[in-house]
Homo-oligomer: A and B are copies of this chain.
Amino acid sequence: MDLIVRGGTVVTAAETYQADIGIEGEQIVAITRHLDGPRVLDATDRYVLPGAIDAHVHLELTLGDLTSSDDFVTGSIAAACGGTTTIIDFAESKRQHSLRDTLAERRGLADGRTVVDYGLHVSLLDAEAATLAEIPQLIRMGCPTFKLYMAYENSWLDDGQIWAILSTLAEQGGLPIVHCENHHVIARLIERFRAEGKVEPRYHPLSRPAVMEGEATGRAIDLARSTGCPTYIVHVSCKEALARIREARGRGQPVYGETCPQYLLLTEKEYLRPGFEGAKYVMSPPARTLADNDALWTALAKGELQVVSTDHCPFFYRGQKERGLEDFSLIPGGIPGVETRLALLYHYGVRRGRLSLQQWVAACCSNPACIFGLSPRKGQIAVGSDADLVIFDPQREVTLRARRLHQHVDYTPYEGRAVRGYPLHVLSRGELIVEHGEFIGKQGRGRFLMRERIRQGYTGLSLHLF
């Protein structure tokens, strides 16, 4: 065997046990009591997890004349250092541009640069016949998941367009992943606040009310119900949205929900920070209340939400966020997070008794693999799966500081928080790419992942999803 991970405590979505893991080439080939070989990685007193999957990241995203600050190189290195060995980014459509070209261009940008494996969701901006006609081909090209926006001036779809897209996805085995906020109401609120001279960051959350996130979530779910399409709701931030998801799942509708560390750990109080500091927390939807944080933790523990991703989309505070100094609505939205997810969820989730080890691994590693067509290759520790492994040290204490993290951005929303439990080594397809917290891999070693058509209905998915 090429490499042996020895002495660790293996943690999967179902079990915790002591075993050595043997790797040949890029795959796990053995999980046994005692393994020996020429190359051994010691995991004594550490957890060995499946490499984490971040199903929602935006690297070098173009937003007007700005670009999110992490590119495929820096962003994927940060991911790796944080224990994430698979990212799913977005091929954002352009109008009057074929989806295949969009996909090819995005792959052109990522291939040869990412350091971990990656997949792509494709966003849709219209429901023209030509667009819908490309969907089957995209699915065959390994992109069965499509991002739909219900908000943002340049990307919101009307309900008829969503309906038409979902009808097509239902037929073709695609999965919509939906940003649920109400564009028109937000536009009115922003307009009103600007007219009243309310331009500070604190007006950002007030312009995107939780009730209307709940509304849009319910609308997406009803559109899915009426077309027979499964649905995945991204970045759930509030109780109102959660209630709609719970209700739909209660009647057996295949709806999945994702939240992010920022919605579990931050609140609207961040926007009240002195000066322009609140801008660091501007993202959509915004951070909500402590009660929402609690409701989201509980929903994760009960399996009402299945996935924790990051929506990583960093912009420099200096120079980029400052675009909105005179007008909160011009602050580029998004925060960094791809590197800190696994540690934050362990510290605030597992250590505080809100999640079991299994729930932690399910939300960060296994469930995204099941839902996004990466299973059994990713998301589990099993013979035949890719040897994507995290050697996680539950005792390692790290104080989060922007300057020490690998994310290419001048702040972290968690600055100064001390967490206990952190990734130590990371393997990607059998290769040690992070050692003692530092990236040692090669740029461009990451591969594009051909993902499978989405299997519909309950029964194709593991129990822990329902």
Contact = CB atoms under 8 A, between A and B. Distances in A.
A354 B459 CA distance: 6
Contact of A466 (B24, B163, B188, B301): B301
Contacts of A466: 301-303
B463 A13 contact: yes
Interface stretch (A88-96, A209-217, A433-441): A209-217
Interface stretch (A38-46, A62-70, A380-388, A391-399): A380-388
Interface string A320-351: 00000000000000000000000000000010
A215 B219 contact: yes
Interface in A9-32: 10, 12-20, 22, 24, 27, 29-32
B215 A31 contact: no
A357 to B, nearest CB: 9
A60 B246 CA distance: 45
Interface string A265-305: 00000000000000000000000000000000010011100
Nearest to A221: B215
Chain A contact patch, size range:
35 or more
A459 B352 CA distance: 10
A158 interface: yes
A376 B17 contact: yes
A462 interface: yes
Contact of A14 (B15, B32, B215): B15
Contact of A215 (B29, B160, B222): B222
Nearest to A457: B353
A458 B353 CA distance: 9
Given A15-B14, A32-B32, A303-B466, A226 B252 contact: no
B356 A459 contact: yes
A118 to B, nearest CB: 23
Nearest to A184: B160
A307 interface: no
Contacts of A366: 14
A37 interface: no
A199 interface: no
A163 B187 CA distance: 11
A164 B218 CA distance: 21
Contacts of A383: 10, 17-20, 31-33
Contacts of A161: 184
A458 to B, nearest CB: 5
A32 B33 contact: no
B356 A458 contact: yes
Contacts of A123: none
A412 interface: no
Contact of A19 (B163, B184, B356, B384): B384
Nearest to A157: B184
A105 interface: no
A215 B218 contact: yes
A464 interface: yes
A457 B211 CA distance: 20
Nearest to A381: B15
A16 B383 CA distance: 10
A459 B353 contact: yes
B212 A185 contact: no
A252 B304 CA distance: 12
Given A160-B188, A161-B184, A222-B211, A14 B17 contact: no
Which 7 pairs from chain A and chain B are nearest by CB?
A160-B184, A30-B32, A14-B14, A19-B383, A215-B222, A29-B33, A17-B382
26 contacts: A15-B380, A15-B462, A17-B376, A17-B380, A17-B385, A18-B383, A19-B383, A22-B32, A29-B32, A30-B33, A31-B32, A31-B382, A33-B383, A160-B187, A160-B188, A211-B225, A212-B222, A215-B222, A218-B218, A219-B219, A252-B298, A252-B302, A301-B466, A350-B459, A353-B459, A355-B459
Given A19-B384, A32-B383, A358-B464, 14 more contacts: A14-B380, A14-B462, A15-B380, A16-B376, A18-B383, A20-B383, A33-B383, A160-B185, A160-B188, A161-B184, A185-B223, A218-B222, A252-B298, A359-B462
